[in-house]
């Protein structure tokens, strides 16, 4: 038995997981599960949760223990021993067996058959593409869709053709590649939503530890679903990407605080695409010394512009100050 947050489960630990290895517990993804649980805890009561790619089942077991607003959890995985292993884990923890619905089929079949859910978590190896249609269709109005994508090779521009084929967008390969990748992913998911007359509003979107993660609120509303075309645009010769806010500050205010949540809250306050990477800018300006990021942010704000840190880069600043003025200020402060 392995354990996470005091919950025990049958599993094999591997930090590098892949389709080839039938290994299903990745400790690096603990952060991903922690934030998901905080988010579920802000949602309404009596939730019905769907986990189509449940792996070891640790996410579902933790939801049972840590989220008192959940009424039912349906867990599914196509893996051969899934059912047997999960029953062992439930019994080992002395959890109530009747609380869990356990399915052992292909994820799309599970989602189409078991609808409707208030929260669905699509957490695959690689691209979430093949689970998008079914997960969007099986959500109730106002439900939450959580999506992980570890498909960074395509989304962050190492394989541009793969990105165009899978996400209908031309990626970037520079210091903005992860912000761009996240915006490409959001736009793709929104387009899939639009074809079902659903609008998917990003509540929380981020990049961390080589994965992208987005939580959307789903609105079953044809007119609203067309908003996706207003929010989708080219950026120079790249894209198209989602150009709106990467998350909703009011929603984040409801989540139990931590350093990362605070950083996202700060970042979502400014809706600019891209950021200034201070190290790159110093190279360009041939500066030997740089001002502290916090000092520079303060000075930009003192001049009446918006500025904040970004989770995409510890030396990054998002601001609406023009590049020329920003360069001048950086030089003055260096």
From the list 292, 195, 185, the residue with the least C-alpha distance to 241 is: 185
Does 124 participate in binding ligand SAM (rule CB under 6 A)?
yes
For ligand SAM, the binding residue among 14, 30, 65, 79 (CB under 6 A) is 79
For ligand SAM, the binding residue among 59, 201, 217, 309 (CB under 6 A) is 59
Please state, in angstroms and rounded to a whole number, the distance separating the CA atoms of residues 281 and 287.
8
The torsion region of residue 324 among left (phi > 0), alpha (psi -120 to 50) and beta comes to alpha
Burial grade of 73 (CB within 10 A; 0-12, 13-18, 19 or more): buried
Does 53 participate in binding ligand SAM (rule CB under 6 A)?
yes
What angle is formed at CA 245 by the lines to CA 239 and CA 249, rounded to 5 degrees? 160
Least Å distance, CB 38 to ligand SAM, is: 15
Does 77 participate in binding ligand SAM (rule CB under 6 A)?
yes
Residue owning tokens 């109005």: 141
Could you tell me which stretch among 71-79, 152-160, 229-237, 322-330 binds ligand SAM (CB under 6 A)? Answer: 71-79
Least Å distance, CB 148 to ligand SAM, is: 8
Helices and strands (DSSP H and E) totals, the chain: 15, 14
Backbone angles phi, psi at 241, to 5 degrees: -130, 165
Does 24 participate in binding ligand SAM (rule CB under 6 A)?
yes
Does 128 participate in binding ligand SAM (rule CB under 6 A)?
no
Does 78 participate in binding ligand SAM (rule CB under 6 A)?
yes
Supply 277's token pair: 């990477």
Residue with CB nearest ligand SAM?
55
Does 107 participate in binding ligand SAM (rule CB under 6 A)?
yes
Least Å distance, CB 203 to ligand SAM, is: 19
Number of residues that bind ligand SAM (CB under 6 A): 17
Please state, in angstroms and rounded to a whole number, the distance separating the CA atoms of residues 12 and 34.
20
Binding site for ligand SAM (CB under 6 A): 24, 29, 33, 53-56, 58-59, 77-79, 106-107, 123-125
């Amino acid at each position: 038995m392995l354990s996470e947050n005091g919950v025990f489960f049958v599993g094999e630990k591997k930090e590098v997981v892949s389709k080839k290895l039938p290994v299903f517990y990745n400790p690096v993804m603990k952060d991903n599960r922690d934030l998901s649980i905080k988010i579920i805890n802000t949602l309404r009561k009596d939730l019905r949760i769907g986990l189509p790619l449940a792996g070891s089942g640790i996410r579902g077991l933790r939801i049972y223990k840590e989220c008192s607003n959940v009424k039912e959890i349906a867990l599914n995985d196509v893996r051969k021993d899934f059912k047997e292993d999960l029953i062992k884990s439930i019994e080992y923890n002395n959890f109530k067996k009747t609380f869990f619905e356990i399915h052992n089929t292909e994820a799309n079949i599970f989602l189409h058959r078991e609808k409707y859910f208030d929260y669905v978590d699509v957490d695959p190896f690689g691209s979430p593409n093949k689970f998008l249609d079914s997960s969007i269709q099986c959500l109730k109005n106002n439900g939450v869709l959580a999506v992980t994508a570890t498909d960074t090779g395509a989304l962050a521009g190492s394989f541009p053709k793969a990105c165009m084929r899978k996400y209908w967008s031309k990626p970037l390969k520079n210091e903005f590649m992860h912000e761009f990748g996240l915006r490409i992913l959001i736009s793709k998911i929104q387009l899939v939503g639009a074809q079902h007359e659903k609008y998917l509003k990003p509540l929380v979107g981020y990049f961390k530890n080589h994965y992208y993660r987005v939580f959307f609120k789903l609105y079953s509303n044809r007119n609203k679903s067309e908003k996706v075309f207003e929010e989708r645009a080219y950026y120079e010769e790249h894209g198209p990407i989602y150009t709106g806010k990467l998350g909703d500050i009011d929603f984040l205010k409801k989540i139990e605080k931590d350093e990362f949540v605070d950083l996202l809250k700060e970042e979502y306050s400014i809706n600019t695409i891209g950021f200034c990477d201070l190290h790159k800018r110093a190279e360009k300006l041939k500066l030997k010394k740089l001002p502290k990021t916090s000092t520079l942010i303060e000075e930009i704000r003192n001049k009446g512009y918006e500025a904040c840190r970004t989770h995409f880069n510890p030396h990054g600043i998002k601001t609406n100050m023009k590049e020329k003025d920003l360069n001048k200020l950086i030089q003055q402060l260096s």
